Structure 1
């Protein structure tokens, strides 16, 4: 038995918005046998643009039952049923959240008619409910009302399962419809264009994976120590917005690159995101880091921090100890270090004055700016601040697990700058840093990479670190 469900809501985010209408059509595998629908008082105003779309207004739901008043009916109506919907994860996530707020766990097997339609009616230009119904001559009345959309989805479902009757035409035997539906229920959480067989074939080792849309464009890059497990997690979560469902539905293909261990996977993922700038990757997309934090000692023996253009610094033979995207980020970075390590704003080029800095006047700075605090005392805190965003060693190689037996990974840092990574035979012998440098693929250094390497070295791992200071 199947419960074909559609809902209308105050918005697209289950964590914030509420249901305003629900409709359920019961299908016994042969025909529609029952139905249920009701408006629901969401106990909050319905945004104007939502009312424009659905036609449901605050006045219409004012006297409607609240969700907790119809919750028992919904449970009873769907008990033992397969939860069917067009883009099922959206409707299912909303209903699960409504029940969770009542302290009840709502759990049903799910079936997505988008996936089923793609499988049984391939090649259509669109699988949105409106365009799909138009393509296959299903009447769709009261669009964007739960009762209208649920009825159309029920008729679509009825047509789909009748497309898939067992037939022998002399050359082949079409699959049993019950088996087909069982397979689709198992795969209902997958993107419509991704098959269960494709996911089953994914490796369970560290690497970087790519999601593509139907045009062959990479829309997301991710990494994991277990590629298959992480990708399944992507698909199994309850989606929190319509945008996240759109992301899932766009995934048409998956590829991957084996990396051998988490560190190399993190480094390669960061580089690929900066190179490709996939639409759904929001973190680490910035690829230009042209501002540096620099350190030097002044004529009075005080260690000073400053910031400026990395290109300009090349002209005066200064090497940045960290690269950031712009001067605004660099100033914010230094302000944070000044606050955390009680440094002097003036000696970090954040307060321009011939005398004492402002913090000294309010008894925060200890007076390095006017020689009250000794260089030795002040420089110890500068060293601690620098240590918080630099490596313990100047030049080193991290040797980790490779992609297969008999292989090792190597990550090379020279003079505090990340050079890249590569893979070598486990019996590879090197006498100098130059030997390792000849075996790597070069990649750009930046703040994101430095954070990845520092975090890895401070964590618990069994990687070998070869120091060339």
Structure 2
């Protein structure tokens, strides 16, 4: 018996994704004998590119069941089944991660239709689900939705069963997926680590730091390093001797410390983060009609950005929301290329800056409000976040738009008095990465307390 499934997720960091939709078809090799399809409230944000890809947004999931509410049904429908999925390693990992959050180990044998197709239908130009089923003449509806993709996988798997005339290839391709076990030395390291937010340092036997990371749960993250099977994790598992850490309480403080420490120490397995962590930026300029235009472009160190983004899609999503929130013109924000009016003007959602109908003063005031909100250039302020203890807070100091450093305090007097504030701040380097980290964090955490300094 097979449980053929497809999962849609929120996207995001590895092993921090959440499920937004799941479809499981129980298949006996001939027909579908049972099915389970449901949207799921992931209790976390959905990445903008995922919303664009699947069409699933947070509003659709507000009243959907949470994973723990459907977990029992998933266990029941997959009982005594081999899990089948297109790129099964991904779906199996996501499902296992969700069950582990509930304290349950979900272990099943699995089959991957990508691997099977490569063996049984060689020389295809692409083995992505959409292109593969189209090339094989398999009908597919609701692409990038769990039900549509799972049903297409059922039809593909049925074809693969027919092609496996010897009945050996599929049998030999079943992965048993045993529970990943920690080695004894790794168990000793993990058991002494706390489940707190902070920066961690992985050392080899001579004390050299080979990797630096940050996490909201250091114990859990180190456990992932020791059980993951990617190349970097395997190298870390071989060379690790000990793990030290520094508690920060605040994720923002952890991000800033991680960035600075990686640049300073340059650990061998942190190669990717030694480079700039943003690729695109938001710039402004005035056109020939004196309107302030906004543009997402590749980050250029010679220009001063309003704010920065990890990729172009993130920037585009930001601008799309800004158009709605600040009633801006699609044409003047680069979202709608035209020589006449933008689409929003045609549907009466734009006041006409695209055709010089709205006054530049009124329009530019709204753009300036957006810029002011999302840039801390020339600002003097303290960002207040969580501390390491229940009665402590963290403080991130910005002076004249320059990041000065971080500190921890217990009494409001310490941050309201400028001299005392400076004495508790540990100086840190200001660079484009720190600006990106702070601006990105402020965008995602709109309820942070910010104190403006005179």
TM-score normalised by structure 1 residue count = 0.47
TM-score normalised by structure 2 residue count = 0.48
Give the structure with higher Rg (CA): 1
